[in-house]
Amino acid sequence: MNETSIILYSSIIMFAIGLYGLTTRRNAIRMLISIEILLNAANLNIINFAHRTALTNAMQAQVLVLFSIALAAIEAAIGIGIFINLYRIYGEAEIDIAKKLREV
Amino acid sequence: MLQPIPHELTIILFFPILSAPIAYLLGRIEGKYARWFAIIVTLVEFLLTLHLALAFNIAKSNELQFVEYYDWVPQFGIYYLVGVDGLSLVMVLLTAILSLAAAIGSNHIEEREGFYYFLFLLMETSIVGVFISFNLFLFYIFWEMVLVPMYFLIAIWGGPRRKYAAIKFFIYTHVGGVVMLISFFYAYWVYYLNTGVFTFNLYQLIGLEPINGGYAAVASFLPRDIGLILFGALFFGFAIKVPVVPLHTWLPDAHVEAPSPISVILAGLLLKMGGYGIIRIAIPMIPFAAKELAWPITILALINIFYAGFVALWQADFKRLVAYSSISHMGIVVLGSIVGNVEGLTGAIFMMFAHGLINGLLFLLAGVYKHHLHTRIIEEIGGYTTYMPLASAFLVVGGLAGLGLPGLAAFVAEFLTILGAFKTWGLRVAVVVFGPVLSAGYILWAVQRIVFGPSKTPHETIKDLCLPEIISFTILTFLIVLLGVYPRVLTDITAQFTSFYISKYF
Amino acid sequence: MFIEYAWLVLLVPIFLSLLTLLIGKRTPQEGGYFGVVGAFFSLILSILIALETITNNLYGYKSVFKWLTIGNNSLYFSIIIDQLSLIMMLIVSFIATLIMVYSFGYMHGEEGLPRYYSEMLLFVGSMLILVMAADFLFLFVGWELVGICSYLLIGFWYKRPPAASAAKKAFLTTRMGDIFMLAGIAYLYYKFGTLDILELNHLAPSLDIKILTLIGIFLFIGAMGKSAQFPLMAWLWDAMEGPTTVSAILHSSTMVKAGVYLVLRAYPIISASPQSLLFVAYIGSFTAFIAATMALVEWDIKRVLAYSTISQIGYMMAALGVGGYAPGYLHLISHAFFKALLFLCAGSVVHMMHEIVHDPWLSRDMRYMGGLYRPMKITALTMFIGALALAGIFPLSGFWSKDAVIEAALEAGDAVVYWLLVVTAFLTAFYIMRLWFNTFWGEFRAPQMLKEHRHSEVKAHIHESPRVMTVPLMILAGVSVLLGFIMPLFKESFAEFLGGYLEHYGITLEHAGIAHIKFEPLVSGYIPEVFPVWGISTIFAGLGIYVAYEAYATKRLAIDKLVASGVGKVLYKILDAKYGLDHLYLLLSEKFAWKCLARAADWFDVKVVDGIVNGIAKAGVLVAKGADMFDLGVIDGIVNGIGISLKKLGGWLRKIEVGIIQIYIMLIVVGAIFLLLLGFFAPTYFSPIIRWLGISL
């Protein structure tokens, strides 16, 4: 078991944790946190493999990860904005409140 | 012999239909005006027809005269082709006379007169059109054009079961018309296939007029069985109109429910369209079929004469009795036209004319009885002879004419037809002589119950005939007697036509 | 030159008939004068023409009017003045004139007189057409026209139902006969292309004997109808419902003779076949007999005379059948006069009875008469003369003519014909004297009978009829007597005269005017050649008169007892029922033709034929309904179905829109995993997609 595989397994575990959190949590903030974990897991995996490959692509991978982190931050910010609105309207920040468009 | 007027035939043809809207408008002002206008129109039409007859060259009655020929849709062989020969002239004369008599006799139509006379004049044009068209497409147009006004005339001014009768009449005769049309198309197509020419002109189709320098008749292009079927189809179409038993059941209902002057037109003219069609179109188009089927058609004619006669005997409704007697007389027409000799054909044509006059008179009388006594049932009409002596006198004359008394028109027709039938079939048709006994039976019985017998006291004053009725009855009676005593008035017109016809097709 | 106006003989009465109808009401006697003038004119003109023809030997003068042309043929109305037609013209116009005058008295006060005289004139004209016709067409025209005049005149008193039925019965029965004649004529036309009688008389005998027999019989059936021979005779006694003047002219002296005239005219055709002759002779003699038997039990005075007419015409037909051409015509002439006489006398009596009894039937019933000799001497005496003439007593006309007939039968040698005629002579004498005795002998029975049967009292004021009526009676009686003197003297010349007509056709008349033809007796023998004919007939006639005298005058012979029981009663019943002929007519016309055939035809027409039409219409409606259902259900259903299924699909697809965000996330994840897995396990199909996805990502 070398470094790559350890980091790979950890990112998989992280991914799973994030996925689990995303799908099972009702609280919006928890879902956001799960999304962060998910994204970070993916980022970690990219860096992991970028570290092992040829140098010319490593640069691209690292730039990609930087983008990804920035995007994660942005998306988290927007998400928080939406959820604060949600909290304001409904009084709680549970996701399953927003089902007005549901075809019953 | 008078000088012909230019386009005389077209004038005679379209004059009524052009006057029709005026009649309608006059009717909107006052019903009576429409009636007077219509009488004037029919009178003018009659005078024009008379002029036509006097300008007609009798010696050449087998040729088309007063021909008018215009292109209409030449690519399909549809032309405006009208003309008169001996037969057509006789039929047009009958149309004019009966239209006049019926118009005069319409004095009891008291609602929506404008529309009534509009339809009436429309019909006069259509009927004349049938008799003078020699292009089959044009013929079909006029043939169908007759149906619509007749439908309305029955459906609006008719008796209690008028809706049923009108629809029955329309659909039944329309079926016949459609079958006829299909036959026309077939002949047209066969003609095209063999000559390369599209034409609906009758004389070209039957080979009397040259095409591309030669004569071609549809009959010559048809194998025997197809020819028989085509003749059968044409005959079927016309047979519904004649009517030939068993295709006749529209007639009693239509005649009975129609207002009396319209029954006059129905019995006097529409039935003749069928006979005319057989003589003019069916037989000349496929002569060999006519000759082969002559005996079965003779049997059909005999069935007409006897079956309808017996049914007439049982009728309690006077109008229905006269309707069945019409069917019986038309049997004589069919018989005369199929025996293939001059006597029979002259008899058939004469019967068409005579029967139109005679049954016209009888239907108008039925109308008088309906109006004055409020019933059509014979038992109820009887007993008022003392109060209606004139009507009774005309009834006796009409009845005697109907049973074929010599000196009155129908005798000539029956006698000639019997001679013709014997000439062709010998003693095989001997049973036809029992026809006059049967007709004497039902007519004399009806006359006995109406004219003879003890007087009944009426609930209200009963009036005898009024002047318009007297005029139309006298005209008809005069013609019936004239033709009975001096039939040459008619036979001279048709003489050339009949001899040419027989020599050509039989 | 008179002969050129021959057409006027028949045209003038017809024209006057129309005139009378239109303006008769305003003329004196309401058209009666027109009647007399018309008949008289024809009489004078006929006399003039006859004189001219005889002196200048213009027999066979023919005048032709082209009636219509058909192709190369033509049909004509043509008349001929010859031996046959001249005699009839004279008889018809003479008797008609007398009867018109008589009508002044008899029909006085009736309503509708212009109609009566108009119809009488039309009849005279039509009868003249019939006798003057030279072609079958014109003959048929006259034939039918006299039939219609008979119809109109019998039904003159139209308000009486029996009169109306009688008129219709007369016309229908005669028409039944006429149509056979028509068939015969049409067949002759078919074979020879002409309707001219004279030509056909030449041509027809060349036909095949079987056809010739048939045609002869057909023509004779027409004659049977008009002349009331068995079985077409039932109409004549009902025809007595008409005025007696009508009975006198139509149904005794002229119209009923038309059948005989036809046989006379077309003799070459009919006599060319022995079978036809046999038919004629047997029908004639048989009719003569049974008609006479029916007269034995009849109480209606006019009906007795009607049966007598039928019987005597039977004599004429029998004579013609066995070849007695001149005897037949001779009997026609003498019978015309004395029968007219008898009817007019009866009319005189009836007219008077009517004033007393007021019932049209009872006034004709002989049981109510009696003892009228004294108050009505002229009528009684003239009637006596007429009765003797009918019975055939020397020296009246009837004696000579009847004897001539029987002589012809004797010569021909057929036993049946001979004996029937001879026995009928007995019956004839009996019934006519029965009539006379019952009417004029004894006591006037009407008051008694009315009291018994009607409980009414009447004033019996019996008087003779006015001169207008009795003068014609005297004239006719005088003629009968006169003829009685002339006949024996001129029998030979008469035979020669008639022979002139038949000569053209190769038929010769022998000494007694009997034609040399091939009559073959059916039953020969049994004829006593011992006595002369006049002896036989006088014996039988005398016997008849004697029996009648004993039965009705002296009442020594109890006829009533005879018919009260046993064979007498049965015979009486049969005769009274007129052999069931009336029932037969009713059966055929009402039950069969009307109730059975007509009703069946009507039922068939309405239920079956029209039923089919209505059925087709109903089927059409069903088809339309089916089409409508098909259209709505199937086609429209498909359209709607598509709509509905799309809607359902939509609805089903909409289920994805759960609105629950976690589910969406799950779907995204599952979808992604799914695609990845696909990419691993089916890389060939999906790797391009993933690569594309990968590149776009």
| DSSP one-letter string for B16-76 | HHHHHHHHHHHHHH-HHHHHHHHHHHHHHHHHHHHHHHHHS-GGGTTS-EEEEEEEEEGGG
* The residue type at B265: I
CA distance B155 to B166: 6
A103 is a domain residue: no
CB atoms inside a 10 Å sphere around CB C619: 11
For chain A, how far is it from start to end, CA to CA, in angstroms?
52
Q: How confident is the model at residue B146 (pLDDT cuts 50, 70, 90)?
A: very high
Q: How confident is the model at residue A55 (pLDDT cuts 50, 70, 90)?
A: low
CB C512 within 8 A of CB C532: no
Q: Tell me what the mean pLDDT of segment B405-423 comes to.
A: 92
Q: Which residue of A has its CA nearest to C666?
A: A23
Q: Tell me what the mean pLDDT of segment C199-210 comes to.
A: 85
Q: Which letter does DSSP use for residue B76 in this model? A: G
Touching chains, C (3+ CB pairs < 8 A): A, B
A60 is a domain residue: yes
Q: Does A104 score more than 60 pLDDT?
A: no
CA distances from C547 to C433, C533, C542, C657 (A): 9, 21, 9, 132
A66 is a domain residue: yes
Higher pLDDT, B387 or C101: C101
Touching chains, A (3+ CB pairs < 8 A): C
Chains A/C: 3 or more C-beta pairs closer than 8 A? Answer: yes
pLDDT of residue B93: 95
Q: How confident is the model at residue A101 (pLDDT cuts 50, 70, 90)?
A: low
Q: What is the 3-state secondary structure (H, E, C) of B274-315?
A: HHHHHHHHHHHHCHHHHHHCHHHHHHHHHHHHHHHHHHHHHC
Nearest to B406 among C145, C600, C602 (CB): C145
Contact B495 C71 (CB under 8 A): yes
Q: Which residue of A has its CA nearest to C665?
A: A23
Q: Tell me what the mean pLDDT of segment C54-80 comes to.
A: 84
Sort out which chain B residues have CB atoms less than 8 A from C72's CB and list them.
342, 499
Nearest to B453 among C152, C164, C589 (CB): C164
**Nearest-neighbour CA in chain C from A6: distance (Å):** 22
Counted domains in chain A: 1
**Nearest-neighbour CA in chain B from C244: distance (Å):** 19
How many percent of chain B have pLDDT more than 90?
Answer: 52
Nearest to C158 among B315, B415, B452 (CB): B452
Write the pLDDT tens digit of every residue in B86-127.
999 999 999 999 999 999 988 888 888 889 999 999 999 999
**Minimum mean pLDDT among B391-405, C287-301, C367-381: which range?**
C367-381
Chains B/C: 3 or more C-beta pairs closer than 8 A? Answer: yes
A53 is a domain residue: yes
Contact C180 B433 (CB under 8 A): yes
Write the pLDDT tens digit of every residue in C398-412.
888 888 888 888 887
pLDDT of residue C690: 65
Which among C652, C656, C658, C670 is the top mutation candidate for probing chain A, defined by the most A β-carbons within 10 Å of its own β-carbon? C658
Q: Tell me what the mean pLDDT of segment B230-234 comes to.
A: 93
A102 is a domain residue: no
Write the pLDDT tens digit of every residue in B259-304.
999 999 999 999 999 999 999 999 998 898 999 999 999 999 999 9
**Does residue C661 sit at the A interface (CB-CB below 8 Å)?**
yes
Q: Does B215 score more than 80 pLDDT?
A: no
Q: Does A73 score more than 90 pLDDT?
A: yes
Q: Tell me what the mean pLDDT of segment C507-525 comes to.
A: 72
Contacts of C622 (CB under 8 A, 6+ apart): none
**Nearest-neighbour CA in chain A from C646: distance (Å):** 17
ipTM surpasses 0.85? yes
A28 is a domain residue: yes
Q: How confident is the model at residue C557 (pLDDT cuts 50, 70, 90)?
A: low
CA distance B180 to B143: 10
Write the pLDDT tens digit of every residue in C573-628.
777 777 778 888 877 777 777 777 888 888 888 888 888 888 888 888 888 888 87
What CATH number corresponds to the domain at position A88?
A: 1.10.287.3510
Sort out which chain C residues have CB atoms less than 8 A from A22's CB and list them.
662, 665, 669
pLDDT of residue A103: 58
A104 is a domain residue: no
User: Which range has highest mean pLDDT (A84-88, B494-498, C144-148, C495-499)?
Assistant: C144-148
CB C660 within 8 A of CB A102: yes
Q: Find residues 360-399 of chain B whose CB sits inside 8 Å of chain C.
A: 385, 396
pLDDT of residue C696: 67
pLDDT of residue B273: 95
**Nearest-neighbour CA in chain C from B429: distance (Å):** 9
Nearest to C657 among A19, A95, A103 (CB): A103
pLDDT of residue B418: 92
Q: Does C564 score more than 80 pLDDT?
A: no
Q: Tell me what the mean pLDDT of segment C273-288 comes to.
A: 90
Nearest to B342 among C71, C152, C159 (CB): C71
Q: Tell me what the mean pLDDT of segment C362-374 comes to.
A: 83
Contact C662 A99 (CB under 8 A): no
Higher pLDDT, B371 or B326: B326
Higher pLDDT, C93 or C28: C93
Contacts of C673 (CB under 8 A, 6+ apart): none
Contact B441 C593 (CB under 8 A): yes
Which among B58, B171, B249 is the top mutation candidate for probing chain C, defined by the most C β-carbons within 10 Å of its own β-carbon? B249
Q: Tell me what the mean pLDDT of segment B25-41 comes to.
A: 90
Which ranges of B196-223 does DSSP label H, i.e. alpha helix?
Answer: 202-205
Higher pLDDT, C363 or B411: B411
pLDDT of residue C622: 85
Write the pLDDT tens digit of every residue in C2-21.
787 888 898 999 999 988 88
**Nearest-neighbour CA in chain B from C102: distance (Å):** 26
The shares of helix, strand and coil residues in chain A, as percent rounded to the nearest 5, are 85, 0, 15
Mean pLDDT of chain B: 90
H/E stretch holding C66 reads strand C61-70
Nearest to C164 among B419, B426, B448 (CB): B448
**Does residue A95 sit at the C interface (CB-CB below 8 Å)?**
yes
Sort out which chain C residues have CB atoms less than 8 A from B418's CB and list them.
182, 186
Sort out which chain B residues have CB atoms less than 8 A from C172's CB and list them.
437, 440-441, 444
Among A35, A14, A13, residue whose Cα is nearest residue A23: A35
Contact C186 B433 (CB under 8 A): yes
User: Which range has highest mean pLDDT (B61-70, B140-149, C404-413, C553-562)?
Assistant: B140-149
CA distances from B350 to B84, B489, C23, C51, C72 (A): 17, 11, 33, 42, 18
Sort out which chain B residues have CB atoms less than 8 A from C165's CB and list them.
448
pLDDT of residue A95: 78
CB B406 within 8 A of CB C145: yes
Q: Tell me what the mean pLDDT of segment B477-498 comes to.
A: 91
A64 is a domain residue: yes
Write the pLDDT tens digit of every residue in C456-511.
666 667 778 888 888 888 888 888 888 888 888 887 788 888 888 888 887 777 76
Q: Does B202 score more than 60 pLDDT?
A: yes
Q: Does B59 score more than 60 pLDDT?
A: yes
Q: Which letter does DSSP use for residue C390 in this model? A: H
Q: Tell me what the mean pLDDT of segment B131-141 comes to.
A: 94
Q: Where does residue B164 rank: exposed (0-12), middle (13-18), buried (19+ CB within 10 A)?
A: middle
pLDDT of residue B258: 92
Nearest to C659 among A19, A24, A100 (CB): A100
Q: What is the pTM of this model?
A: 0.83
Touching chains, B (3+ CB pairs < 8 A): C
The residue range of the domain holding A85 is 3-97
**Does residue C665 sit at the A interface (CB-CB below 8 Å)?**
yes
